[in-house]
Amino acid sequence: MKGCLAVTKNNSKLYISMYHYTRDLMHSRYPQIKGLDVKLFRKQIEFFKENFNVVRMEQVIEEVKGGDPLPEKALLLTFDDGYADNFTFAFPVLEEYDLQGSFFIPGKTFSTHQLLDVNKIHYILASADIQHLLKDVLERLDYYRGKEFNYLPNHILFDKYARANRMDCKEVVFIKRILQTILPEELRRRISSELFAKYVCVSEEQLSYELYLSLDQIRMLKRHGMYIGIHGYDHYWLGNLSKREMQEDIVKALESMDEFIDCEQWVMNYPYGNFNQDVLEFIKQKGACIGLTTETRVADLRFDQPLQLPRLDCNDFPPKSINYQKLM
């Protein structure tokens, strides 16, 4: 019995690597977009193949349900947001090395071909000078304040939300937060679309068709053994919605992804890593068995709640860095 426990104890760590855009950055139209270059992606996969045991999502589900423990140095590959570049550049490498990736796809991306706010903002940031963009955003906030919408003065908003994080400077964080969740939704949409039209030289609709996985591509990923999971429908900050709006978004996500998931045991990946107790209770009731957050550290299945597993960014592993060694 003691021996049994010791095995579980040794194998309880799970490294989860998180990817967003994976592409040939140098030859892409937006080389400034924050993604992992395909050459580095290949190097990273080679590193994982030599130094870790890359596991399948089904093995993680099995372990959290009390079944077989994971091997030592278990590592899971997760791809957020349903980008077609993951299909073009990452999927062939995964196939070559016989590894599984888990893809988390917002239902709206392939069903309506509308650009998510998160992507409008990424492309605006990849196309504009940050100081110039900040000035533009602040002027637009002044313009709309008191007309149909009310919100705090610029200096208070800036003090509150302009906080640099591991990935972004404070100006970028400010613009992201304001346009992702802080302003009223209608105004966020309006300002994002105005900025997109001004700075990005392509229509939102065209970009949505080239940016997101198509239904046929998702089906092919699934046929080739990749795991498909839930990432909301509209990619909202779920913890900031009313309970009714949050539940509606999750129900729509489950409906649009119905053919890809097992409704009795599916995996949730919270957009922006954002959730609250209501979200946890609702997804559990709806059949979620694992939840992926953006808290940055190695997961420990002995202590971490299955619905709140932390992850590491792909930039935390070689060839980008060796942060993974410190983020226990």
| Residue 271 binds to Zn ion (criterion: CB under 5 A) | yes
Give φ, ψ of 116 to 5 degrees: -70, 150
Residue 158 CA to residue 130 CA, distance in Å, equals: 15
Nearest approach, Cβ of residue 20 and Zn ion (Å): 7
In contact, 196 and 120? CB cutoff 8 Å: yes
Nearest approach, Cβ of residue 235 and Zn ion (Å): 6
Contacts of 19-28 with C-beta under 8 Å, sequence gap 24+, read 19/77, 19/78, 19/79, 19/80, 19/86, 19/90, 19/314, 20/79, 20/80, 20/81, 20/83, 21/83, 21/85, 22/79, 22/83, 22/85, 22/86, 22/89, 22/90, 23/85, 23/88, 23/89, 24/89
Nearest approach, Cβ of residue 249 and Zn ion (Å): 13
Residue 320 CA to residue 59 CA, distance in Å, equals: 27
Count, residues near Zn ion per rule CB under 5 A: 3
Nearest approach, Cβ of residue 227 and Zn ion (Å): 16
- Give whichever of 69 and 271 is closer to Zn ion, judged by the CB atom: 271
| Residue 80 binds to Zn ion (criterion: CB under 5 A) | yes
Among 37, 81, 234, 249, binds Zn ion (CB under 5 A): 81
Interaction residues for Zn ion, span 206-225 (CB under 5 A): none
| Residue 204 binds to Zn ion (criterion: CB under 5 A) | no
Nearest approach, Cβ of residue 82 and Zn ion (Å): 9
- Give whichever of 37 and 81 is closer to Zn ion, judged by the CB atom: 81
- Residue type at 313 in one-letter notation: D
- Give whichever of 148 and 210 is closer to Zn ion, judged by the CB atom: 210
| Residue 234 binds to Zn ion (criterion: CB under 5 A) | no
- Give whichever of 109 and 217 is closer to Zn ion, judged by the CB atom: 109
Number of residues in the chain: 328
Residues binding Zn ion (CB under 5 A): 80-81, 271
